[in-house]
Amino acid sequence: MNEPTPFGELPDGRPVTAYTLGGEGAPELRVLDVGATVQSLRPHDPRGGGVDGYGPNLVLGHREASAYVARPPAYHGAVVGRYANRIAQGRFSLDGVTHRLEPNEGATCLHGGPGGFHARLWTVKDLQPASITFQLVSQDGDQGFPGELTAWATYRVEPDTVVVELSASTTKPTVVNLTNHSYFNLSGEGSGSVDGHVLTVDADRYLPVDSTSIPIGAPAEVAGTPFDLTRGARIGEVVRAPHRDIGIVGGLDHSFDLRGEGLRRAARIEDPASGRSLEVHTDQPALQVYSGNFLDGVTVGSGGKRYRQGDGVALETQRHPDAPNQDWLPSPVLRPGETYRSLTLWRLGVSAGSP
């Protein structure tokens, strides 16, 4: 099922290739070598109502390869890095040395900079019927980050589950934070807003931010705020709640400090209309929840419809934003001889008796 297929070309003429994983009752996952990107995720449909035994595509994406490297990027389905999320003022200090990065959101470095990992062609290192491993080598000084970093991204499809494994090694001390930036819509890509989706986040604290979306001090308790998603809430109600931290970013774009350690559940979204659900499990300390606040109707999605604000929600398992500059957060430093690792599971489900 995973025979390579052409997916167009980048603006410089380099070809992009797609690989489709799955079968035998498992989800169908389509990934691209540009950005090690998830371009499509279709669940196995046990109700027999799907196309070819599968339901609709549940992730937002592009129809053309060149759109994945266009600016400003939406990061649809890509692996972002070297440092996912934001680094304030595009700089950090490590072992007494200040490193200046390439800013791409005002003075902020977002998702590794304008030429981050989302815009690179990754190399396929291993391909199996149900899994694929990509590799990317980022040179010393790339986007201002120290050390030659070798990164790997593995996708593995299991019954009702997609496993995302990210890892990296370095030749010099550096900072690393990798994540997959898929936007989910369980009604199907291009079907409109996710306002009716119910979101649960297993976190008792979140990080308040300033006007540039940089954390400002210690985590705040979610209790008594719209950020209390421990029992589930409709996304549309949360993003319209009268709260400073909602208004300052135009919805949800916040890091939640997850409970516990090791591999555990971080979040769950459910679409009451279709009965579909997605559980996110991770070994990472934080979950960035982004409600697609800047989707503006310009981008035409993979299904031919325009994406507008709130048409998908990203659940990014990662380190906290700006951790290189905030000592009270868990350290994102990676040193030679060490291996950065991140494990995330997407577990798909459907309610009994759903249409």
pLDDT digits (tens, 9 = 90+) for 163-198: 999 999 999 999 999 999 999 999 999 999 999 999
pLDDT (0 to 100) of residue 218 = 86
Candidate list 44, 111, 181, 320, residue with the active-site label: 181
Q: Which domains does the chain have, with CATH numbers?
A: 5-350 (2.70.98.10)
What is the rounded distance in angstroms from the CA atom of residue 63 to the CA atom of residue 53?
Answer: 23
pLDDT (0 to 100) of residue 52 = 78
Candidate list 111, 270, 316, 320, residue with the active-site label: 316
Residues 6+ apart with CB under 8 A from 70: none
pLDDT (0 to 100) of residue 202 = 98
**90: helix, strand or coil:** helix
Low-confidence ranges of the chain (pLDDT < 70): 1-2, 46-51, 352-355
Q: What is the pLDDT of residues 227-257, one digit of tens each?
A: 999 999 999 999 999 999 999 999 999 999 9
CA distances from residue 317 to 197, 254, 301, 311 in whole angstroms, order as listed: 19, 12, 24, 20
269: nearest Cα among 208, 224, 202, 321 = 202
Give yes or no: 181 in active site. yes
pLDDT (0 to 100) of residue 275 = 95
Give yes or no: 281 in active site. no
- The pTM of this model reads 0.96
